[in-house]
Structure 1
Amino acid sequence: MSLAKILKLGAMAVAIAPLSLSGAFADGAAFFDPLDRIHPVWAENGMVSAQERLAAEIGRDILAKGGNAVDAGVAVAFALAVTLPRAGNIGGGGFMLVHDAKTGQTHAIDYREMAPSGASRDMFLDEKGEPDSDKSLYSGAASGVPGTVAGMRLALEKYGSLPWAEVIAPAIRLAEEGFPVTPELSDSIESEREYLEKHPATKAIFFKPDGQVWQPGETLVQADLAKTLKKIAEEGPDGFYKGEVAEAVARSVQAVGGLITPEDMAAYKVVEREPVRGTYRGFEVVSMPPPSSGGVHLIQILNALEGYPIGALGQNSAQTIHLMAEAMKLAYADRSEYLGDPDFVDVPVAALTSKDYAAAMRAKISAEFATPAAQIKPADLTPYESDQTTHFSIIDKDGNAVSNTYTINFNYGSGLVADGTGVLMNNEMDDFSAKPGTPNGFGLIGGDANAIEGGKRPLSSMTPTLVLKDGKIWLVTGSPGGARIITTVLQVIMNMVDHGMNVAEASTAPRVHHQWLPDELRVEEGISLDTLRLLEAKGHAIVLKDAMGSTQSIMRDPESGSLYGASDPRRPDAATLGY
């Protein structure tokens, strides 16, 4: 909805959490009364913040019985594959950051999906040479080789402390015995009925024999998924990547036009990479490197904004939002040109994340007027070196931390459950550039660096992030949200660092987003109409759309070690739990 439409309807912008705002500047910039706060969850020892309560409870229980953050993270990841089927997965992939408090080191685990060996650059083009979104999103060819199982195994073996079978056992129980369907789960299945019903194996799980969707309070049992999880628990990754499960995945995908073979499954590899690092007003920001674009552009935008007095300008004031939007546009333009799988292309990470480059970005930003997207091009850089997603954050009693974002891309991935396995397959192949210069399912423009190639990992916006103060964990955060993940994480950090919000307030405050193309400033409800008028006067095309993101965040007090966490109120069923 445009600003003109908002004004025509006489709409009153309602804050998502009005109790967090006790006053405002003329254009809606917030300031805070310390007696009028939204309070986060508190814990003394360990904490889990996840998008589904049962999975969060499992992670908390692992911590309480002596497991570390990675043990809990692996348990949560497998549990979400059962209880949050639209995003939690073993048929997808993602990224995990692991911080070791004892050594001070942070490790980045890339278990992103890989294109099948038979994938080719033009595989999603129609007879006219234009991208065919049905092929890239809903056919068997939409699925890349899943990485979650291999990623969780590597994380546990290298950084965990409990046995593999022990951390998978709670997920097996939930799949085998079932769990109560929530209103959100029931609604999400109904909303995707059209394509979940297309595949018999999918329909048999998510709908009753009479075709009705499972209702809130009823028990959803996933017997085939339980059987698959048992094989994984007993045989390790070989129980998924080899033998009958791998063959069933390949057979089911190929039956609807896909390319995955048993050999592709067996060839899957996890990669450990060096995290990207930056600083922002005395804090160290550590995030995921390519093939995630998230960490690079998070640091790039923070670097650019560090040159402005954001705190003095006010949270969500017109000037603050204007500067954020202009920096976002420049970063997303660079994303379209330079970002891809670093095993296949040179990504200029050092250049994009340098303070000098941030100064050059600021030189392009007018304080008074929005620069039209048509006038913005990717920078001329030389390489310096060779919606539906879910996130969870964990800190244990020793200060170890996990920030994990993983996905099967759209709600319920491609909608295909591999026969006899209970595994929902991803549609991550859409994250490649089917045709350089054209948008994908999230409206993101990609270039040759992200062209399709066998064995390659598609570019992602997932942004699992750690913020450290004096070398110790201060904040663990991340979010789902497709193209909007980067800017969502950005605003949580800025809300806390620049505006002094606690983690709950930072998670609740209204958000904005600009991704260069389309040339529109997306805003949530809760931004003052006066602010929106000022932004429109600067030349921004304002569009009011649905809420953005679902952050799961934990802050650790550097003095007391106490933990404060919050689950984003934008999506139901999430929980932050501690002990």
Structure 2
Amino acid sequence: MKKIFTSLFLIIACFAPLFSSVAQSGRIPVSSEKGIVTSSHKLASQVGAQILSEGGNAIDASIATAFALAVTLPSAGNIGGGGFLVYRGEDGTETTFNFREKAPLAATKTMYLDKDGKVRDNSNHEGLLAVGVPGTVAGLYKAHQKFGKLDWKTLLKPALKLAKSGYPVSDDMQWFFKWVQEHKEDYPGTARIFLKEDGSVYKNGEILVQKDLYKTLKRIEKQGPDGFYKGKTAKLLADFMAKNGGIITEEDLARYKAEEMQPVKGTYRGYEIIGMPPPSSGGVAVIEMLNILEAYDMNEFGQNSATSLHLITEAMRRAFADRAMYLGDLNFNPNMPLEELTSKSYAEKLRNSIKMDAASPSDSANFNKAHLKHESKETTHISVVDKAGNAVSLTYTLEQSYGSKYVVEGAGFLLNNEMGDFNPIPGYTDSKGLIGTAPNLIAPEKRMLSSMSPVIVAKDGKTILAIGSPGGRTIINTVLQVILNTIDYKLDIAKAIESPRIHHQWLPDITYFEEWGFSPDTKKIYEEMGHETGIRSSQGRAMGIYIDPQTGMRYGAADSRSYSGGAVAEIED
């Protein structure tokens, strides 16, 4: 008990200045004339806000927040995964950083198939063969080298303190602790980190200390990416793989590089949409859907009316069909028709096939019998705007909740299971939602297609909105609906995020409604148009910041769907 209170005191002492800062409460956004950080864990948001208060910029704060999440949000925050960062500077600079995981050198197109051509024992999602080469550390460092203001070690310091002193676990982690307890024989490295010494589970509010993770973060603090991709950490990871049937080697790690890329861009009602290019499918899909919807008076139809929901669904249907047909890693698909997919003329062609009172069919026959696989929802998003007006929208992931659930022995971090985002069965697509088109088939050092959709919206040269969400394939549609809620329905950022959401992804041909917030009469009219519907408990956990173009005031909101999320404002002088 004394140890618990000592650790709590250290945490409070570390973050005491932040307790006086302004944080979001319920559906009321936090406001600030300076900077704001929103993320899926309050402690991590506080870390980012503190970095802003110390003179750091939006890139600095996003990096410090991401490393803090690697400690406090093991279900999705990570150094064993990867993701994307979209940046817009106050001077109009627009760029992105791609640190999506890669397939190992030993990967093959049919590596998960048995002799009958079927996926073997869910091996593309479970086990160490499902792990892609992690990209997070390389990506965060590359962004820091280009735009960071504070030194690298300063940004690692809060995460190091959280790993060494510990933090209070939350109730939503209980299922994982119990799962580890039940599977400790198969996951001994994970049990060593996430169970107590006597094998019992941590209870809500008890302190979790991660000594091995602290040592790994310390190597990253001192050596930058070399502290992860080379030396002791790389050897620990490669040895763990070799010992347990994985295929990632020290060479895979040493060869990994993050990429700076030009964003994909579009417009919507005079607003500029800045998104992530492939291997993210989100930027292209969001722009395509907005282009389709731009010709309709969405405000006149009304938020969540049957007509609005019908038109949004039809836009989703068409964008997801194109996602399946065309998108993958640009380095392996140089002829992707991105300009056409994001053009107004292409949207007009798609719009001409939409009927105002009847659903379109989703037909898999046009895609050579392909395979649209499951993509997990366990991702996390960070939005940051600093006092100068620089903005970051950063989404990263382990794929499933807690990734592969394997902790690298001696290194203390969880590994992703991102290889499951490749199309595992070449040439097989069906009406149930499985896809096997060529752009996203497995190849060595190829990055798998992703639905992560960090987006920044600007108007008249000023950043207006930074938004993103976890949620697997629902991410794209969550981000779309928050943008519509902000631009068309004039909701403040908190209400735009809290509003109920729908999801349609072409195949299967079902629209999923969140189980609350929709009128039964509206849903009945929608179904009479020919839409099949289903219910889901929750969709996404959006994190957003809105900047009032007249006053410059920032408003931040963390989705209440996120158990531990929080929006925190920079401390005022």
TM-score, normalising length from structure 1? 0.90
Deviations along 1:558-579, whole A, 9 cap, x unmatched? Answer: 1211101111111211000103
Distance 2:183 2:292 in 1: 42
Deviations along 1:331-379, whole A, 9 cap, x unmatched? Answer: 1111111000000012111010000000011111111111121278469
- 1:354 aligned residue (332, 338, 343): 343
1:578 and 2:569 equivalent?
yes
8 Å Cα contact 2:96-2:276 kept in structure 1: yes
In structure 2, the partner of 1:40 is: 29
Deviation at 1:210, TM superposition (A): 3.4
- 2:458 aligned residue (461, 468, 474): 468
Per the alignment, in what secondary structure is the counterpart of residue 418 of structure 1? coil
Aligned partner letter, 1:469: K
8 Å Cα contact 2:109-2:426 kept in structure 1: no
Deviation at 1:395, TM superposition (A): 0.3
In structure 2, the partner of 1:34 is: none
Deviation at 1:192, TM superposition (A): 6.6
Distance 2:307 2:529 in 1: 10
Distance 2:147 2:404 in 1: 32
8 Å Cα contact 1:195-1:415 kept in structure 2: no
Distance 1:366 1:466 in 2: 31
**Structure 2 matches for 1:115-130, cutoff 5 A?**
115-130=103-118
Deviation at 1:189, TM superposition (A): 3.5
8 Å Cα contact 2:181-2:200 kept in structure 1: no
Deviation at 1:132, TM superposition (A): 3.1
Distance 1:153 1:82 in 2: 18
Distance 1:396 1:50 in 2: 15
**Structure 2 matches for 1:239-250, cutoff 5 A?**
239-250=227-238
1:521 and 2:540 equivalent?
no
Relative to 1, partners in 2 of residues 1:197 and 1:443: Cα closer, same or farther, differing over 3 Å?
Answer: farther
Deviation at 1:129, TM superposition (A): 0.7
Distance 1:401 1:299 in 2: 19
- 1:259 aligned residue (240, 247, 253): 247
In structure 2, the partner of 1:86 is: 75
What is the number of residues matched between the two proteins? Answer: 534
In structure 2, the partner of 1:341 is: 329
Deviation at 1:190, TM superposition (A): 3.3
Relative to 1, partners in 2 of residues 1:192 and 1:490: Cα closer, same or farther, differing over 3 Å?
Answer: farther
**Structure 2 matches for 1:268-347, cutoff 5 A?**
268-345=256-333, 346-347=335-336
Relative to 1, partners in 2 of residues 1:347 and 1:542: Cα closer, same or farther, differing over 3 Å?
Answer: same
Deviation at 1:193, TM superposition (A): 5.6
Distance 1:570 1:320 in 2: 23
**Structure 2 matches for 1:483-494, cutoff 5 A?**
483-494=473-484
Deviation at 1:390, TM superposition (A): 0.2
Distance 2:336 2:112 in 1: 25
Deviations along 1:384-433, whole A, 9 cap, x unmatched? Answer: xxx11000000000000110000010011111111100011110000111
Per the alignment, in what secondary structure is the counterpart of residue 381 of structure 2? strand
Distance 2:184 2:64 in 1: 27
- 1:367 aligned residue (346, 356, 361): 356
Deviations along 1:487-508, whole A, 9 cap, x unmatched? Answer: 0000000001111111011001
8 Å Cα contact 2:367-2:429 kept in structure 1: no
Deviation at 1:44, TM superposition (A): 1.3
Relative to 1, partners in 2 of residues 1:62 and 1:133: Cα closer, same or farther, differing over 3 Å?
Answer: farther
Relative to 1, partners in 2 of residues 1:369 and 1:461: Cα closer, same or farther, differing over 3 Å?
Answer: same
Unpaired segments of 5 or more residues in structure 1?
A: 1-36, 380-386
**Structure 2 matches for 1:124-203, cutoff 5 A?**
124-132=112-120, 134-190=122-178, 198-203=186-191
- 2:211 aligned residue (210, 223, 239): 223
In structure 1, the partner of 2:55 is: 66
1:393 and 2:391 equivalent?
no
Per the alignment, in what secondary structure is the counterpart of residue 247 of structure 2? coil
Aligned partner letter, 2:560: P
Deviations along 1:113-142, whole A, 9 cap, x unmatched? Answer: 111111100001122111236311111111
Deviations along 1:73-131, whole A, 9 cap, x unmatched? Answer: 110111000000010000000000111112x0111000111111111000011221112
8 Å Cα contact 1:444-1:515 kept in structure 2: no
8 Å Cα contact 1:333-1:377 kept in structure 2: no
In structure 2, the partner of 1:384 is: none
Distance 2:121 2:397 in 1: 19
In structure 2, the partner of 1:31 is: none
Distance 1:420 1:97 in 2: 33
Per the alignment, in what secondary structure is the counterpart of residue 424 of structure 1? coil
In structure 2, the partner of 1:507 is: 497
Deviation at 1:253, TM superposition (A): 2.0
1:530 and 2:510 equivalent?
no
Aligned partner letter, 1:123: M
- 2:467 aligned residue (459, 470, 477): 477
Deviations along 1:275-308, whole A, 9 cap, x unmatched? Answer: 0101011110101000100000000000001111
8 Å Cα contact 2:71-2:162 kept in structure 1: yes
Unpaired segments of 5 or more residues in structure 2?
A: 1-25, 369-376
More deviation, 256-265/194-203: 194-203
More deviation, 503-512/185-194: 185-194
Per the alignment, in what secondary structure is the counterpart of residue 534 of structure 2? strand
Deviation at 1:512, TM superposition (A): 0.3
Deviations along 1:164-211, whole A, 9 cap, x unmatched? Answer: 111001101101111111112334443676557631110111112333
Relative to 1, partners in 2 of residues 1:565 and 1:196: Cα closer, same or farther, differing over 3 Å?
Answer: farther
Deviation at 1:39, TM superposition (A): 2.7
Per the alignment, in what secondary structure is the counterpart of residue 363 of structure 2? helix
Distance 2:387 2:191 in 1: 43
Deviation at 1:250, TM superposition (A): 1.3
- 1:97 aligned residue (71, 86, 101): 86
Per the alignment, in what secondary structure is the counterpart of residue 536 of structure 1? helix
Deviation at 1:328, TM superposition (A): 0.6
Aligned partner letter, 1:576: A
In structure 2, the partner of 1:565 is: 556
Distance 1:332 1:423 in 2: 33
Aligned partner letter, 2:68: A
Per the alignment, in what secondary structure is the counterpart of residue 124 of structure 2? helix
Relative to 1, partners in 2 of residues 1:473 and 1:448: Cα closer, same or farther, differing over 3 Å?
Answer: same
Relative to 1, partners in 2 of residues 1:133 and 1:105: Cα closer, same or farther, differing over 3 Å?
Answer: farther
1:109 and 2:97 equivalent?
yes
Distance 1:196 1:551 in 2: 33
More deviation, 296-305/248-257: 248-257
**Structure 2 matches for 1:385-464, cutoff 5 A?**
387-436=377-426, 445-464=435-454
Distance 1:569 1:465 in 2: 20
Deviation at 1:445, TM superposition (A): 2.7
1:77 and 2:66 equivalent?
yes
Per the alignment, in what secondary structure is the counterpart of residue 96 of structure 1? strand
Distance 2:150 2:258 in 1: 20
Distance 1:376 1:355 in 2: 26
Aligned partner letter, 1:83: T
